[in-house]
Amino acid sequence: MYMGDYIVIERQVGPYEYRGCSVSTGTPFLAEIDRDKRHLFADQSWIRKHPSACPFLRPSGNRIVCTIHETSPVQCKAYRCAIIRIRSHDGKELGYVTGTLSLHSDDPTLMEDWRCIEPLLSAFPGNAEERITSVLIKKGYSCT
C-alpha cells in the first residue's frame, strides 16, 4: 500500500507491458500485466484514490493483489510472504512457499515431498514457481 515511491512505471511499451523501475536500487524491470488480472489493472479508480500504493496493486473482491505476479521485480519476489499456498485435495492448508523458495509446513508428507523438489531447484534455476507448482500438482496437492 505504500510502495508507490519505490516501484514506478516509467512508460507503457506494449498493450499490457510496462517498463518500470525499482527506485531504491535503480533497477529497471519489464512488467506484463498477468492475463487473469488485466481487467483489474484497467480499472484506474482505486489507484487514483491511493497514490501511495504501488501502481500495479489493485483490489480484487475483498483482497488487494499484485497484477504483475509473474513479472514483478526481483525484490518483490524475494520479500513476498507467500508465493505458493499448498492445500490438500480437500482444501486443507498444508503450507506455503516464500519468495526465497523456502517451504513452511508442519505436514510430514509435504515436507518429505519437498525434499524431492529442492534438488531440482538448485540443479535447474529459473521458472522455479512454475516448476514447484507443477510437481506439487502431480503429487496431488492444490496450489494457489
Give the three cell numbers for residue 43: 480499472
Please give the size of the binding site for ligand SF4, defined by CB under 6 A.
9
Indicate whether 83 belongs to the interface with ligand SF4 (CB under 6 A).
Answer: no
Q: Supply the minimum distance, in Å, between the C-beta of residue 131 and ligand SF4.
A: 20
Q: With respect to ligand SF4, which residue has the nearer C-beta, 56 or 141?
A: 56
Grid cell 512454475 is found at 130
Q: Is 112 exposed, middle or buried (0-12, 13-18, 19+ CB in 10 A)?
A: exposed
Indicate whether 68 belongs to the interface with ligand SF4 (CB under 6 A).
Answer: yes
One DSSP character per residue, 27-63 reads: EEEEEE--GGGHHHHH--HHHHH-TTS-TTEEEETTE
Which positions from 18 to 57 touch ligand SF4 by CB under 6 A, shown as an x/- string? ------------------------------------x-xx
Binding site for ligand SF4 (CB under 6 A): 3, 7, 54, 56-57, 66, 68, 72, 76
